[in-house]
Amino acid sequence: MSSGSEEAVYWQPMEFHIGRTLRRTFDVFTRNALAYCLTCALVQLPNLYFDFALTQHALQALPFAYVYLFYSSIAGALCTALIVFAAFQDLRGRPVDMAESVSRGLRRLVPVLLTSLCVGIGVFLGLIVFTIPGIIFLLMTYCALPVCVVEGQDPFSSITRSAQLTKNHRWGLFGVTVIIFVVNLILGFAIARLAFPYAYNATMHALLDYFQSVVVSAFSAVMSVIIYNDLRVAREGVDVEEIAAVFD
């Protein structure tokens, strides 16, 4: 796999700027886009199976629908956990080994799933109460998964730590979520246009939806890592080598 640039090792922002973080996310993602997307493609395979099964009316029982919804809700968290180490290696200018990254992510599988579940419940309850609390909680917990993997925190400590890191930067993070939402819409529109000749081909639609989900999940996972890193650099005065030293 390719390695990060020398600039990635020595240049660090003194302040947190969301625009600069977005550019760094794009750089890190594109340097190893294939590796990240293939990893997320494997994670998302069960969803592809469910999509195929649903289009063929093979899944009629309600329990299967619950399994589908549950796995869909945690797939993004799994992608993030498996990509964290690889993204940090790129930031450090070191070769990216996805096999090792996946292995390290799987070591934190249970805490990551529990953290994702806690975040999901909190956002859901907040949205039910009055939309805005759910959005605020989502922004507060933006870095919870990287915290869980890198710092080895339990779910509740990961959420608390994320709230501390994101404090005073949540408007910027809200902008990021809006950007990802818009990009997802644009990608969905492009895929819909591409799939237009296959309007009655359920298999093609499932494959294209799968492709969209894989790309968005991979990019979002890398972005959460870069945001976590840049927030720590800005708030704590550390550099990427100090943050990622836990992996050595």
Q: Using one digit for the tens of pLDDT, what is the confidence trace for 76-117?
A: 999 999 999 999 999 999 999 999 999 999 999 999 999 999
Does a structural domain hold residue 32?
A: yes
Q: How many independent structural domains does the chain possess?
A: 1
Does a structural domain hold residue 177?
A: yes
Does a structural domain hold residue 154?
A: yes
Mean pLDDT (whole number) for 127-151: 91
Residue 237 region by backbone torsions, left for phi larger than 0, else alpha for psi between -120 and 50, else beta = left
Most confident of the following: 61-65, 87-91, 177-181, 204-208 = 87-91
Q: What percent of the chain has pLDDT over 70?
A: 86
Give the burial class of 247: count Cβ atoms within 10 A of its Cβ; 0-12 exposed, 13-18 middle, 19 or more buried: middle
Residue 241 vs residues 43, 100, 247: alpha-carbon distances, Å: 29, 18, 10
Does a structural domain hold residue 72?
A: yes
Q: Using one digit for the tens of pLDDT, what is the confidence trace for 12-66?
A: 445 778 888 889 999 999 999 999 999 999 999 988 887 777 666 555 555 666 7
pLDDT at residue 183, rounded to an integer: 82
Does a structural domain hold residue 2?
A: no
- Which strand (E) or helix (H) includes residue 3? none
pLDDT at residue 5, rounded to an integer: 44
| Helices 33-55 and 62-91, axial angle in degrees (round to 10) | 170
* Model confidence, pTM: 0.86
Q: Around Cβ 127, how many Cβ atoms within 10 Å?
A: 15
pLDDT at residue 86, rounded to an integer: 96
224: domain range? 18-247
